[in-house]
Amino acid sequence: MNESLQIRTFKKSGHIEVICGSMFSGKTEELIRRIRRAEIARQRVKVFKPKIDTRYSDMEIVSHSEQSYPSEMIENSEDILEKSFDFEVIGIDEAQFFDEKIVDVCQKLADAGKRVIVAGLDQDYRAMPFEPMPKLLAVAEYVTKAMAICVICGAPANRTQRNTSSSDRVLVGAKDHYEARCRLHHVIPNE
């Protein structure tokens, strides 16, 4: 009889949410929206971004629509683990710029009962899968594919058109280097 009266402590179940899409599709904006809602619910929130992303601010994630939220720059994805201990909700922006270990980091955070919200490009400028995002998509409980608007025809756009001659896979930039395109109007530069 005493056994049935025991108070049981259950571990909170964590999960991974991925927001993906092309540039200008509102990924960071959606990440910020979810983070702000978590704050309204009085959850402890921490947001990270890769050190390579210095486009708008070193101390904030910033959407193309100029919404922002305080964040910490991280060089190594494994640093996120030690900096997330006291938080319930972890936001990670521009995940495609992190190393492959970001997948394990997100898994460990979710296994520890945290809500992990990750945003990033799912395709590079050639419309090829942009690692490590495909692996994050595979292990996530929730996936949101955001669409932009093609600057040529106005159709839904899920591709990122590079407007420079650089063939480097990673070229950090915004409207100065990229625009959203649909499948029909996406052209791979130099091909």
Give me the catalytic one of 82, 94, 100, 141: 94
* Residue bearing tokens 């993906």: 20
Distance of CA 28 to the CA centre of its chain: 7
Is 39 part of the annotated catalytic residue set? no
Please spell the DSSP secondary structure of 4-28, one letter per residue: HHPPPPPPPPPEEEEEEESTTSSHH
- Encoded amino acid at 77, one letter: S
E strand segments, 25-110: 45-50, 60-62, 68-70, 72-74, 89-92
Instruction: Say if residues 31 and 75 touch (Cβ distance below 8 Å).
Output: no
Q: Other CB atoms closer than 10 Å to residue 142's CB: what's the count? A: 11
Which residues are tagged catalytic? 94
